[in-house]
């Protein structure tokens, strides 16, 4: 007899881009078959950073009180107070933001943070008579992070629009926000952007950020800024300025991309009422967020060395890898109709194949048969309505893995694209 799932259960067991991504990652690391892993979001293993983390973990293990904080106690529902205070102090010193621990919430990674934020702000209104319409999260520019689109507990929680495409020299292009077409009306609960953007590596300009901030304030809705790849840490951002924060901004950071993905530590900076709402939600979902990341990263947050590590170790590592990957693409894809989104940050290359005779989903399947794992671009347009061929002509490639893997993976992608063209 098959299990009868609820509507909620059916919603969250359906196939999604995030499920495909993590299933591929699990398959690639299981050892059952050798894959060239260019599809996941796992950061690189940077030896210098791993040495720093091992040294700090060894210190914690030697100190009974520190080890107890790491493993022996529940934190508060909004996270370890000592770490939250250190984050507030760090951001106050670095950017002169007026923050305290009351502005900081810790979560079990960024994905859980967005599940909470989107469902706290958007969806059916709180009118007990049920007369409130569904309010949605607006992505002013797509493509955007695939993990956003599957976290709503109701349908139609997201809306988005096509970008402006600027074609640049040397096979590059760049997306921009189409402001004349952008409408922020009463149906919008919040505006959300990632910067740098996953999947494209796009960094919205300061002018674009200021205009979005102005639109959000005028509409009376929060501006949610996902800075998981950007400054102040891990600072995998090659152009542009510092992050934006004010009392209308919800800024989301993470310890994952600095090299600690397994500790699942997201950091949300917001006004206290939002922090309190997230704490209440976490107390029901998980009692409290994990403390491992908070304890492990506390000293580098408290003394500010996390900024030094980001600028002197992490960012240069990825920037050099991006340049090398682009050089390989120009070599292997010579003669093919393709463009690369200007790599301005994060650790992905977004490849566009205008006129591709098969869909990117079919290209993904063919590449998987070759032992190359990428991600089809069609997953990265949450909330975008209507047909648009462009969304089926793109791939996301992670260039952060070891150079031999990336080089051979790119070579195989070029071979498959040539074969698709016949």
Sole residue written with tokens 């069609």: 378
Token pair belonging to 182:
């952008």
Specify the domain boundaries for CATH 3.40.640.10 within the chain: 72-304
Token match 């959000």: residue?
216
Give CATH 3.90.1150.10 domain extents, the chain.
7-49+308-421
Smallest CA-to-CA distance from 251 within 125, 110, 412, 358 is with: 110
Distance, CA of 347 to CA of 263 (rounded, Å): 20
Ranges of residues in the chain with a pLDDT under 50 are: none
| CATH code assigned to 72-304 | 3.40.640.10
Cis-peptide, bond into residue 76, ω within 30° of zero: no
Q: State the pLDDT at residue 6.
A: 74
pLDDT reported for residue 11: 73
The reported pTM is 0.93
Tokens of 124: 């059916």
Distance, CA of 342 to CA of 397 (rounded, Å): 13
| Strands annotated E in 342-411 | 348-352, 372-373, 375-376, 394-398
CATH code given to domain 7-49+308-421: 3.90.1150.10
C-alpha 231/C-alpha 97 separation (Å) is 14
The pLDDT tens digits for 305-333 are 999 999 999 999 999 999 999 999 999 99
Structure tokens given for 257: 């991309």
Closest by CA to 193, choosing from 167, 157, 230, is 230
């Amino acid at each position: 007899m098959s299990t009868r799932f609820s509507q909620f259960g059916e919603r969250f067991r359906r196939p999604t881009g995030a499920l495909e991504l993590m299933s591929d990652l699990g398959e690639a690391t299981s050892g059952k078959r050798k894959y060239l892993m260019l599809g996941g979001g796992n950061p690189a293993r940077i030896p210098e950073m791993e040495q720093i983390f091992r040294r700090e973990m060894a210190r914690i293990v030697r100190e009974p009180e520190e080890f107890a904080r790491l493993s022996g106690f529940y934190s508060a529902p909004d996270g370890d107070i000592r770490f939250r205070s250190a984050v507030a102090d760090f951001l106050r010193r670095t950017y002169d933001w007026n923050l305290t621990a009351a502005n900081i919430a810790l979560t079990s990674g960024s994905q859980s943070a967005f599940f909470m934020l989107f469902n706290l702000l958007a969806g059916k209104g709180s009118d007990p008579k049920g007369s409130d319409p569904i309010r949605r999260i607006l992505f002013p520019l797509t493509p955007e992070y695939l993990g956003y689109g599957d976290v709503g507990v109701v349908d139609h929680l997201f809306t988005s629009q096509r970008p402006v495409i600027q074609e640049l020299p040397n096979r590059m292009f760049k997306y921009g926000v189409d402001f004349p077409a952008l409408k922020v009306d009463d149906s919008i609960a919040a505006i959300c952007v990632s910067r740098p953007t996953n999947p494209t590596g796009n960094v919205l300009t300061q002018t674009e950020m200021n205009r979005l901030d102005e639109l959000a304030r005028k509409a009376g809705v929060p501006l949610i800024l996902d800075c998981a790849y950007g400054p102040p840490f891990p600072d995998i951002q090659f152009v542009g300025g510092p992050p934006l924060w004010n009392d209308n901004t919800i800024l989301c950071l993470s310890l994952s991309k600095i090299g600690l993905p397994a500790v699942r530590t997201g950091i949300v900076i917001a006004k206290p009422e939002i922090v309190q709402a997230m704490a209440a939600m976490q107390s029901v979902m998980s009692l409290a967020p994990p403390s491992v990341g908070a304890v492990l990263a506390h000293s580098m947050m408290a003394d500010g060395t996390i900024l030094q590590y980001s600028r002197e170790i992490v960012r240069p590592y990825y920037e050099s890898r991006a340049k090398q990957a682009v050089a390989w693409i120009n070599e292997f894809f010579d003669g093919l109709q393709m463009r690369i989104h200007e790599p301005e940050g994060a650790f992905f290359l977004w490849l566009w194949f205008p006129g591709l005779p098969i869909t990117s989903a079919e290209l993904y399947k063919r590449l998987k048969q070759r032992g190359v794992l990428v991600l089809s671009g069609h997953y990265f347009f949450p909330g975008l309505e209507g047909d648009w061929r462009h969304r089926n002509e793109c791939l996301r490639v992670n260039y952060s893995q070891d150079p031999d893997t990336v080089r051979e993976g790119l070579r195989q992608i070029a071979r498959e694209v040539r074969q698709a063209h016949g």
